Amino acid sequence: MPEVEIPQSVRAFIDQRIGSIFQLEVLLLLHRNPGRDFTAEDVAHELRIEPSWAALCLAQLQAGGLLVAAEGPPLRYHYGPRTADLDDTTNQLARVYSTHRVSITAMIFSKPPDPLKSFADAFRLRKDTLNG
């Protein structure tokens, strides 16, 4: 089965730091362009997603130590993992994603929902929840 070929470090990385396909795509976009600063608008344009979702992903990735933020406004981010290990694992993830896209996607979708997200969602009174 394809899942066997995904290294444990990548699995742990996804488990702990990647909550959605959006986050993964944003991370890999910045990882592909290491020297370049991105704003949320830039990311939204490249990936064809809502700028507000792009902004949230960028902020979360930065909080997770994968991106570095430069002074705004508007806030700009570039790829800058806090440790060499994170860099290694992100490189691995980029390689594995290019060859095993379906497996990685399935892994992300089969994660149990983040308890914190469930907590925040519990306070939405209306049913039409737009996921950030």
Partner 1 sequence: MAETVYILCSLTSILCAVLLWRGYVRSRARLLLWCSICFIGLAVNNVLVFVDLVLLPNVDLLMIRTLVALAGVLALLYGLIWDVQ
Partner 2 sequence: MIYDRLLYFLLGALLAATFIAGMFFLRFAQKTRDRLFALFAAAFWLLSLNWFCILFIHGEEPRYAALYSLRLVAFLLIIVGIVDKNRARPRG
Q: According to the binding rule CB under 8 A, does residue 109 interact with partner 1?
A: no
Rounded to the nearest whole angstrom, what is the least distance from the CB of residue 120 to partner 1 in the complex? 9
Long-range contacts of 75-80 (CB under 8 A, 24+ apart): 75/39, 75/40, 76/37, 76/38, 76/39, 77/30, 77/37, 77/38, 77/39, 78/30, 78/34, 78/35, 78/36, 78/37, 78/38, 79/27, 79/30, 79/31, 79/33, 79/34
CB 113 → partner 1: shortest distance, Å?
5
- Residue with Cβ nearer partner 2 (60 or 89): 60
Q: What residues from 3 to 42 belong to the interface with partner 1 (CB under 8 A)?
A: 15-16
In the list partner 1, partner 2, none, the entry touching 5 (Cβ below 5 to 8 angstroms by class) is none
Binding positions for partner 1, rule: CB under 8 A: 15-16, 112-116, 118-119, 121-123, 125
